[in-house]
Amino acid sequence: MNKKLGFFLLGGLLVSLLLAGVVSSFASSSPDGLDSAAREGCTFDADGNITGGTCMAQNEQEHQLGGGPLADYGIKGIGNEYLSTGLSGVLGVLVTFGIGAGVFWLVRRRTREPAH
């Protein structure tokens, strides 16, 4: 691998890890666009529970993996919310980078095999 490319990939990985591990803890907890659109037409109490009206959010159900170890942008069992979110982000970056590197390695390996 080219030395410049290696530094570029390492730099990108480090920036991604920093963003996922530190900056992700400061993300807004307000509903995103999809959540806002799904809640249109309903009324809510102070705790955010639907009290009336008609909206898509009334039909929402718990996700099948909602109780999983990485549900809700955190790691189950870690009491500190910021640490849990940061570690979850770092783990996500590392898994994504590993899968991407593996796919590129396989594709590169396949194209280097001599033709028969």
Q: What are 48-72's pLDDT values in tens digits?
A: 889 999 999 988 888 888 888 888 8
Report residue 89: phi and psi, to 5°: -65, -45
pLDDT of 35 > 90? The answer is no
Contact 38, 57 (CB under 8 A): yes
β partners of residue 42 = 53
Q: How far apart are CA 82 and CA 27, in angstroms?
A: 11
pTM of full prediction above 0.75: no
